[in-house]
Structure 1
Amino acid sequence: MPKMMLHVNTKRIQHDEFEKDKANGTKRVLEVDFAMSFSCEYQNEIQSALWSRASVVLFTAAVFCNGNCKTYILCSDTNNKDKDTVFVFLDFFYTEILKENSAISEEIIWSDGPSSEFKNKFMVKTLEILNQKHNRTFTWKYFATSHGKGVVDGVGGNIKRLVRMKMMTQGEGCTIQSAKDFAEVAAQLDTKSHLWYIEEDHIRNEILSQNPWRNVPSIPGIKEFHIITCSTSSGFYAKNNALSTKIALSNPKGNLFNFPGKWVVVCYEGKEYPGEVVDASGDQVQVSVMVPTGPPHHFKWPRQPDCICYLKEDVAREISPPVVVNNRGLFKFIDI
């Protein structure tokens, strides 16, 4: 029940924050999402055609600014919804589509939080690159899990419905066997959304030319964050939700955490354990953890030291050192 209450609370806080951002005239909100890929079909196809259908990746977006909403669709022949695709699409938005506006003080990206697409260290690096290119604050905000539905979902569903109806219409149908075909037909059917076609080769060439994934640091505890900001003046900071306190990560070019000698909470097999960092190297951190004992929130050192290496992504957060409870080796943490 406490986890459910925390989830509902986060959902409400983030929803209120989204509405406030849309109403703020000094902020421009870009809500993004991947729609389910469109499957290219023939009007009268044989069964074996099922195994050779091409698919179209759809990246839908809605821009909210000064009380106005404009919708956009990027379609591509790539089969990947990974960091490279997201980076190139976002870079295209802010470089080619969204014009510079001196009245805008902050660019805000809203999305749901799948780690494979949006909520990972590569998207934090993307914020840094966008910040450097456009010299303004960029913030990525996430809806609570399973509560990210919005305008963008309707945009993706509607364009797929229109194209499929056209494709299956007897006598007036059309053949769509590629993302380029889809883009041409969709542009004629949906006059409300702005649509662009981006080739997979363009994505590949942009990644090769910009090489954005140099020196990408780990972000321990990123799964708990719902707001991550990159500011030219304040550097990186994160928040668990819109009402929580800021957690300073570092300046954009620095290492996000100085691990050795710190006390942290690590996640192991679904449970959290407090411990002291012994060493850190690459993507791993060695932590000597304590075990729970006696009254709630009390811990002790195990008889045999439990000191192993964890991925830095498994470090949930930094905490204060423990306080001695008695002379029998009992400790407690003010942060737990």
Structure 2
Amino acid sequence: MKDLLPENHVLVQMDFSENYNYQTMEEIQSAYWNASMVTLHPTIVYYKADSSLCHKCLVFVSEVLHHNASMVSTIVNNVVSIAKEYVPSVKQVHFWTDSPSSQYWNKSVFDLINEFERTHGCKAYWHYFESGHGKSACDGVGGATKRNADNAVKQGKAVIQDAMDFFAWACQSDDGIRYHMITQEEYEQNSTEIETRKEMIKPIKGTISLYAITTDVHGQLVKRNTTCACKSCFNENGFDGQSPCGWDKVELLKQPDPTRADEHVVSETADELELTTYSCNKNDFVVAVYDTKCYIGKIIEKDLADDTVHVDFMIQSGKALKQFRWPNKQDRVWVKGADILRVIQEPTATGKGGRMFTVPHEVLNAMAAYAP
């Protein structure tokens, strides 16, 4: 797709990196456990100049640790402004991202796409990678940024204690990456707008199978279960509404019957969101499905609006894989509410070190019997 990119189109690939932990030259244990963090969002902008493919690497830095639709909206606003510096006449922006529902794959981002032309003067087409697609160029940009920061601190060339320190160091580094700071105020302004719009829009039925979304020549939101950028779908002027490739129209704005408001909300939740009725809370231990397999983990955060939960997963251990332990590297993943199978009691610590845990046999049996 990059090679066939028209000169008035821009392709943007982006992703959240794992938050950067500040370090000190002589870090002690208490400093490690009480370390502050900074959000890093690597972004690569591809475009054509004189028929040659060019790219710019960006990293958005922020003290705001929320990886949600409000942060995505804030970053997108800045990405488009920067992209227009390289392609002033841009007509279409193609976004490629992962598909976590708490970040890029939700009704607020779909609304952003729906309003994109009115807001930015060009159209947006959002492509979603399937989960588990592997590493991308953004992982390389984010990893290089964090590695360079760590080396600068260890060599005494930088003191990084907060997001502003990180940004100041990054802007002086000679790594070919352009850095941009997202402030708390900028985030909160976008967050207020997002929350206001949430009351006006509804989730899209079948979101779980949606992997491409854009608007046609009439501003109508359309979606597809697989992405497509063939010549029948796109030309230099953007999306062709007469494409034979099977695009479905989407209605995003709510039009409820005011006399049946409560019933509308119930129907929307049950029919369009396809939610489960599980009841779990922060710090609960659960059995969850990820990549068609069952795991045990602890809920560290919930997003009720998108029906997703952030789970800190354990790994199975022992000869018979009947024990569990926390991995050396945290394995935290956002999963859909429908993927929480059950809430369980807190695993019981065993052994002298208390680093191995057991769960009741019925939990193990249920995990073994699970079939997606």
Same fold (TM over 0.5): yes
C-alpha distance in 2, partners of 1:233/1:100?
A: 27
2:34 partner amino acid: S
- Mapped partners of 2:58, 2:127: distance in 1: 19
Q: SS in structure 1 opposite 2:119?
A: helix
Equivalent position of 1:141 in the other structure: 127
Distance 2:84 2:90 in 1: 11
- The CA distance in 2 between the partners of 1:188 and 1:201, in whole Å, is 24
Q: Does 1:189 align with 2:173?
A: yes
Q: Give the corresponding residue for 2:249.
A: 248
Q: Which of 46, 51, 59 in structure 1 is aligned with 2:28?
A: 46
Cα pair 1:137 1:232 within 8 Å, conserved: no
- CA distance 1:138–1:231, shift in 2 (3 Å): farther
Residue 120 (1) aligns with residue 106 (2): yes
2:9 to 16, 24, 27: 27
SS at match of 1:284: helix
In structure 2, the residue matched to 1:200 is 184
Mapped partners of 2:91, 2:124: distance in 1: 9
Contact 2:57 2:177 in 1 (8 A): yes
Superposition RMSD on alpha carbons, in Å?
2.7
3-state SS in 2 of match to 1:36: coil
Structure 2 residue 90 is the aligned partner of structure 1 residue 104 = yes
Q: Residues 130 and 241 (structure 1 numbering): CA distance in 2 closer, same or farther, change over 3 Å? A: same
> Does structure 2 retain, via aligned residues, the 8 Å contact 1:228–1:237?
yes
Counterpart Cα distance in 2 of 1:93 and 1:283: 37
| Letter in structure 2 aligned against 1:46 | I
Corresponding residue of 1:150? 136
Cα distance 1:124–1:105, how it changes in 2: closer, same or farther (>3 A)? same
Q: 1:104 to 1:79 in 2, by over 3 A?
A: closer
Between Structure 1 and Structure 2, how many residues are aligned? 250
The answer to whether 1:235 aligns with 2:220 is yes
Instruction: List runs of 5+ in structure 2 lacking aligned partners.
Output: 229-244, 276-372
CA distance in 2, matches of 1:180, 1:97: 24
Secondary structure of the structure 1 residue equivalent to 2:64: coil
**CA offset at residue 247 of structure 1?**
1.1
Q: Distance in 1 between matches of 2:43 and 2:265?
A: 36
Q: Is the partner of 2:204 in helix, strand or coil?
A: coil
- 1:282 aligns with 265
* Structure-1 separation of matches of 2:88 and 2:216: 16
Contact 1:112 1:144 in 2 (8 A): yes
Does residue 314 in structure 1 map to residue 274 in structure 2? yes
**1:310 partner SS:** helix
TM-score (norm 1): 0.67
Q: Secondary structure, in 3 states, of the residue corresponding to 1:92?
A: helix
Compared with structure 1, are the counterparts of its residues 41 and 100 closer, same or farther at alpha carbon in structure 2 (3 Å cutoff)?
closer
Percent identity between matched residues is: 20
User: Could you tell me whether the CA contact under 8 Å between 1:131 and 1:231 is conserved in 2?
Assistant: no
Per the TM alignment, residue 198 of structure 1 is displaced from its structure 2 partner at its CA by 1.6
Q: Deviations 1:51-106 (Å, cap 9, x if unpaired)?
A: 32110100111111111111111100011101111111111222355348465332
What SS does structure 2 have at the residue aligned with 1:314? coil
Deviation at 1:311, TM superposition (A): 4.6
Contact 2:201-2:253 within 8 A present in 1 as well: no
Point out the more displaced range, 217-226 or 230-239: 230-239
The alpha-carbon distance between structure 1 residues 215 and 208, as it changes in their structure 2 partners (threshold 3 A), is: same
CA distance in 2, matches of 1:175, 1:311: 52
Matched residue, 2:364: none
* Offset from partner CA, 1:161-184 (integer Å, 9 cap, x none): 001011011xx3422110111111
Q: Rg larger in 1 or in 2?
A: 1
- Give the alignment partner of residue 207 of structure 2, picking from 222, 228, 244: 222
1:65 maps onto 2:47 in alignment: yes
- Whole-Å separation in 1 of the counterparts to 2:86 and 2:192: 26
Deviations 1:238-295 (A, max 9, x none): 0111355111114x6576x99xxxxxxxxxxxxxxxxxxxx9612534xxxxxxxxxx
Write out per-residue CA displacement over residues 100-159 of structure 1, whole angstroms, 9 at most, x where no aligned residue. 846533211111111111111111011123221123321110112211632211110001
CA spacing shift, 1:239–1:20, aligned 2, 3 Å: farther
Kindly provide the amino acid, as one letter, of the partner of residue 61 in structure 2.
C
Question: What's the secondary structure of 1:71's corresponding residue?
Answer: strand
Where do 5+ consecutive residues of structure 1 fail to align? 1-17, 259-278, 286-308, 316-336
Structure 2 counterpart SS, 1:98: helix
Residue type of the alignment partner of 1:197? M
SS, match of residue 16 in structure 2: strand
Cα pair distance change 1:233/1:55, threshold 3 Å: same
* Deviation by residue 1:214-244 (Cα, 9 ceiling, x = unmatched): 4121111112111011245141100111355
Moved more, 179-188 or 101-110: 101-110
Contact kept, 8 Å, 1:77 with 1:199, in 2: the verdict is yes
Give the letter for the 1:313 counterpart.
L
Distance in structure 1 (CA, Å) of the matches to 2:181 and 2:148: 17
